[in-house]
Amino acid sequence: MKIENAKEIHLKEINEITNYSIINTNYNLNFEPKTLEDTKKWYNEHKEKNFPIIVCLLDEQVVGWASLSTFRDYRGYDKTVEVSLYVKNEYKRKGIGSLLLQKIEQEGKNKNFHAIVSAITGGNEASINLHKKFGYSIKCTFEQIGYKNDTFLDVLFLYKIL
């Protein structure tokens, strides 16, 4: 396994991993799958703003990805980022999430970010436990703030000083 910066050639696989979560879980609150064009736009916006996107490769196949993004679009939050992390379903519980989270945090430190936030849908115990393992703490739970598949969902905000 190796971790590297995402390239345009990885976007199709990033898109597929993300869409699996959109279609099959309540952990991504989008309702409609992303098009490849949506993912290209997201990728280019991250490149323009100098936000990292990394991938985990196994035999040159993307098995997971992580990124840092704007937390809120106010200058006072410029030193805070939000992390996103996805692992291909059949590769979960193999340490890939840990590798990605460790590396994306290092990217955040290298870019002089101060704090990192992760918004996780209630019930996603694997993601909550992964973040806790790396020192994140739950700072708040917004009860029934999300909605998907005819269900109101809690969203937890976990936080860490880098």
> What is the pLDDT, as a whole number, of residue 57?
98
The per-residue pLDDT for range 5-44, each reduced to its tens digit, is 999 999 999 999 999 999 999 999 999 999 999 999 999 9
Domain extent for 60: 2-161
The per-residue pLDDT for range 64-75, each reduced to its tens digit, is 999 999 999 999
> What is the pLDDT, as a whole number, of residue 152?
98
The number of folded domains in the chain is 1
| Residue 69 CB neighbours (<10 A) | 16
Model confidence, pTM: 0.95
Q: How confident is the model at residue 139 (pLDDT cuts 50, 70, 90)?
A: very high
Share of the chain above pLDDT 70, in %: 100
Q: How confident is the model at residue 83 (pLDDT cuts 50, 70, 90)?
A: very high
In CATH, what number is assigned to the domain containing residue 134? 3.40.630.30
> What is the pLDDT, as a whole number, of residue 93?
92
| Residue 58 CB neighbours (<10 A) | 14
**Helices 11-24 & 36-49, crossing angle to 10 degrees?**
120
